[in-house]
Amino acid sequence: MRAGAATPVLAGPEPRLRLALRYLSHYRGRYAIGFAAILGASLVVMLPPIVLRDAIDALNLGVEGGPAPTMGTLIWYGLVIVGLAMIEGFLRFAARLLVSGTSRDLEYELRNDLAAHQMTLDRTFYLRSQTGDLMARCTNDLQTVRDLLGPTLIDLARILTMLIAGFFFLLTVNTRLALISYAYLPIVAIVIGAFGKQVEERYGRVQEQFGALSARVQENISGMRTIKAYAQEENETAAFGVANREMMRRSMSWAYWTAGLFPLMTLATGASVILVLWFGGADVLRGDITLGQFVQFNSYLLILSNPLLALGWNITVLQQGAASLKRISEVLSARPLIADPDVPVVLEQVKGEIVLRGVTFGYGADVVLREVDLTIPAGTTIALVGVTGAGKTSLVELLVRMYDPTDGEILLDGIDIRRLSLSQLRDSIGFVPQETFLFSDMLSDNIAFGRPGSSDEAVRYALATSQLENDIPQFTHGLATVIGERGVTLSGGQKQRAALARAVIKDPPVLILDDALSHVDTHTEEEILRRLSEFMRSRTTIIVAHRTTTLASADVVVVLDDGRIVETGTHAELLAREGMYSRFFLRQQLVEELVEDLPA
Ligand code: CTP
Ligand code: MG
């Protein structure tokens, strides 16, 4: 699950065409061969009408009393036409196969890049995005882009080369007729342009709603427990219905425009046939062109009606691909705010001294931490206390650079943490977050997540320290038990202890526990703390906690209130001061005594 190399940071979404060309250029050889084959096919398809013209003119000569062609000659004409059709078919088949196959390689590469890029993005990006929508971009939009850069591209090349080649072949027959039959093309181009714009806009809205719908499905599935607990199934189903109806409405408005193009193109080709019959027929009667030439000309129109009809459809697919490409480009161009410095400072050995200087921070306009100054000498244990919403989690998350402070600086061993590489910083800190996340994987893999391939001994030590070892026999396959998504098959306390074991096994110089034992009973917590105290002896430890035993055992207690440090000192000092901490502590003591007195 390591992040790939950071994608170059771009200002604003990369233009779609540039993005497409960047990927296409990786396969330019294969695309070039494919286009050459398509060009060949478009030229070969123009040859049978010439053979047909010669055959008809030869017959006509016979009809008018001249030398009649022999049966052998006629069969020869036929064979040439069949041969040409076979060559054309083969070239088209080869081009399609090559380019469609290549678009799968391109899709594979783009999907890998998307996944690697998402690993580089930070919390701020994910706070702004919805999981379902991101997933839609990586699946649905990616497929649309693949179809654009595969079959659609090859079709567009076929259409364009045929229309151009066709015009030249028409010119060889009769300039005036050629100009007449292509006269309406500018109008067609304008109409297609207008339709295409509508299609792109509407398809963009369809995909946007699909993203919203996916986000809803994703939230409903992960929030199913809450929905059921509050008996909100019907409301949620109704709300989904509304979003789904909107999806249908947008799809229909898109479908009207794509459906309209086809009949319009049929009309346009029909009109050109009428014009050519009218003017060309007169030319034949006047003897300006031969009957064979007239048939040749009409054969071209027949051949060209196919790409013209396909043009409309392919333009719509092109516009849809463009809309999807934009959505993918938005993800690929998102830049992480938290990134490695160009030249990171490397600490030989992290001792674990942490200093905050004038740290101010807020998620949006609201300030959550104000001018926080704090020095934590290496190897000490500090307890961070404060009411809910005081900013404790925000403070510890700044230490691992989930976010950067808006003002002030944070130093690790005297170095601003923004000058360290993210991997060194995060490797140095064992962070047990307030919300535990476990992967749907084996318990042992979850614990060794930060240190894959840890020795059995290390695993056992982590299990003992976190007191998870006593629970292992409960699991069907012990440590090899695969736990449910996000750890749903574990109890709250088991999840927290697994997360603690995950941090302990990293053997980090700094340990941060953000309310990490809140779901563990008092006795187990005491046992964990007793075992941890040995582990913490040589390490810097920050514990966000409520329990009196934890608070009393810390070297220093720091009280946070509304984003400010209001009291700092040893447990005894702060008790004696009879300020916020002593009130907090005494109240907590009462609560714990009450709980102790309750019958088991
Ligand atoms: N906050 C926010 N956006 C976030 C996380 C938090 O605006 N993504 C705000 C919260 O609403 C709160 C403040 O930041 O007002 C501090 O939050 P936090 O640091 O999480 O508070 P804690 O002290 O950790 O509170 P608790 O004891 O409940 O964990
Ligand atoms: Mg918190």
pLDDT digits (tens, 9 = 90+) for 289-314: 999 999 999 999 889 888 888 887 88
Position with higher pLDDT, 592 vs 596:
592
Please tell me if the CB atom of residue 126 comes closer than 6 angstroms to any atom of ligand 1: no
* Structure-token pair, residue 240: 């989904």
Whose CA is closest to atom 8 on ligand 1? 363
Please tell me if the CB atom of residue 476 comes closer than 6 angstroms to any atom of ligand 1: no
CA of 433 relative to ligand 2 center, distance in Å: 9
Over 90: is that where the pLDDT of 483 sits?
no
- From residue 534, alpha-carbon distances to 78, 353, 523, 530, 541 in Å are 94, 19, 18, 7, 12
558 touches 568 (CB < 8 A): yes
Whose CA is closest to atom 16 on ligand 1? 391
Please tell me if the CB atom of residue 390 comes closer than 6 angstroms to any atom of ligand 1: yes
- From residue 67, alpha-carbon distances to 62, 96, 293 in Å are 5, 45, 19
Please tell me if the CB atom of residue 368 comes closer than 6 angstroms to any atom of ligand 1: yes
Dihedral of alpha carbons 563, 565, 570, 571, sign: negative
Whose CA is closest to atom 14 on ligand 1? 368
Distance CA(321)–CA(143), nearest Å, equals 9
User: What protein residues have CB closer than 5 angstroms to ion ligand 2?
Assistant: 392-393, 434
Of ligand 1's atoms, which has the minimum distance to the CA of residue 515? 29
State the first-to-last Cα distance of the chain, in angstroms, to the nearest integer.
44
CA of 389 relative to ligand 1 center, distance in Å: 5
> Which residues are paired to 355 by β-bridges?
375, 411
Over 50: is that where the pLDDT of 52 sits?
yes
41 touches 303 (CB < 8 A): no
Confidence of residue 68 (pLDDT cuts 50, 70, 90): confident
* Structure-token pair, residue 34: 């494919």
Which domains, from first to last, does the chain contain? 16-333 (1.20.1560.10), 348-428+510-600 (3.40.50.300), 436-507 (3.40.50.300)
In single-letter form, the type of residue at position 212 comes to A
Distance CA(357)–CA(373), nearest Å, equals 5
CA of 362 relative to ligand 1 center, distance in Å: 10
Question: How many CB atoms lie under 10 A from the CB of residue 404?
Answer: 16
Of ligand 1's atoms, which has the minimum distance to the CA of residue 386? 23
Is the backbone of residue 231 left (phi > 0), alpha (psi -120 to 50) or beta?
Answer: left
> For residue 117, which of 2, 12, 1, 4 has the smallest C-alpha distance?
4
Can you give the pLDDT at residue 328? Answer: 94
Per-residue pLDDT tens over the stretch 424-446: 999 999 999 999 899 988 999 99
Q: List the single range of 362-366, 378-382, 430-434 with lowest mean pLDDT.
A: 362-366
Please tell me if the CB atom of residue 559 comes closer than 6 angstroms to any atom of ligand 1: no
* Structure-token pair, residue 469: 């070892």
Of ligand 1's atoms, which has the minimum distance to the CA of residue 364? 7
Over 70: is that where the pLDDT of 549 sits?
yes
CA of 540 relative to ligand 2 center, distance in Å: 20
Position with higher pLDDT, 315 vs 37:
37
Please tell me if the CB atom of residue 331 comes closer than 6 angstroms to any atom of ligand 1: no
> Which residues are paired to 415 by β-bridges?
412
Residues in the chain: 600
Per-residue pLDDT tens over the stretch 69-116: 888 888 999 999 999 999 999 999 999 999 999 999 999 999 999 999
Per-residue pLDDT tens over the stretch 107-142: 999 999 999 999 999 988 998 888 889 999 999 999
Whose CA is closest to atom 3 on ligand 1? 363
CA of 406 relative to ligand 2 center, distance in Å: 19
Please tell me if the CB atom of residue 230 comes closer than 6 angstroms to any atom of ligand 1: no
Question: Furthest-apart CA pair in the chain: how many Å?
Answer: 129
* Structure-token pair, residue 566: 């209001």
Q: What is the DSSP string of 133-147?
A: HHHHIIIIIHHHHHH
Please tell me if the CB atom of residue 386 comes closer than 6 angstroms to any atom of ligand 1: yes
> For residue 217, which of 314, 140, 279 has the smallest C-alpha distance?
140
| pTM for this prediction | 0.81
421 touches 341 (CB < 8 A): yes
Question: How many CB atoms lie under 10 A from the CB of residue 521?
Answer: 11
Over 50: is that where the pLDDT of 542 sits?
yes
Whose CA is closest to atom 19 on ligand 1? 391
* Structure-token pair, residue 346: 């490397």
Position with higher pLDDT, 128 vs 246:
246
Whose CA is closest to atom 12 on ligand 1? 389
Question: How many CB atoms lie under 10 A from the CB of residue 506?
Answer: 21
CA of 4 relative to ligand 2 center, distance in Å: 30
> For residue 211, which of 256, 246, 255, 239 has the smallest C-alpha distance?
246
5 touches 116 (CB < 8 A): yes
Reduced to 3 states, what is the DSSP secondary structure of residue 361? Answer: strand
Can you give the pLDDT at residue 6? Answer: 34
CA of 391 relative to ligand 1 center, distance in Å: 5
Can you give the pLDDT at residue 13? Answer: 67
Distance CA(232)–CA(242), nearest Å, equals 15
Instruction: Point out the ligand nearest to the CA of residue 433.
Output: 2
Residue for token pair 């080869």: 94
Please tell me if the CB atom of residue 563 comes closer than 6 angstroms to any atom of ligand 1: no
CA of 462 relative to ligand 1 center, distance in Å: 29
Please tell me if the CB atom of residue 352 comes closer than 6 angstroms to any atom of ligand 1: no
User: Which residue intervals of 436-521 are DSSP H helices?
Assistant: 443-447, 456-465, 492-505
Backbone dihedral angles phi then psi of residue 280, each to the nearest 5 degrees: -65, -40
Mutate to test the pocket of ligand 1, among 125, 369, 387, 392 (most ligand atoms within 8 A of CB): 392
Reduced to 3 states, what is the DSSP secondary structure of residue 360? Answer: strand
Over 90: is that where the pLDDT of 495 sits?
yes
Strands 556-561 and 564-569, bridge-based pairing: antiparallel
Question: How many CB atoms lie under 10 A from the CB of residue 198?
Answer: 19
Over 50: is that where the pLDDT of 372 sits?
yes
Can you give the pLDDT at residue 5? Answer: 32
Please tell me if the CB atom of residue 223 comes closer than 6 angstroms to any atom of ligand 1: no
Whole-number mean pLDDT of the chain?
90
Position with higher pLDDT, 115 vs 191:
115
CA of 370 relative to ligand 1 center, distance in Å: 14
Instruction: Point out the ligand nearest to the CA of residue 403.
Output: 1
What average pLDDT does this structure show over 183-187?
81
Of ligand 1's atoms, which has the minimum distance to the CA of residue 391? 19
Distance CA(301)–CA(314), nearest Å, equals 20
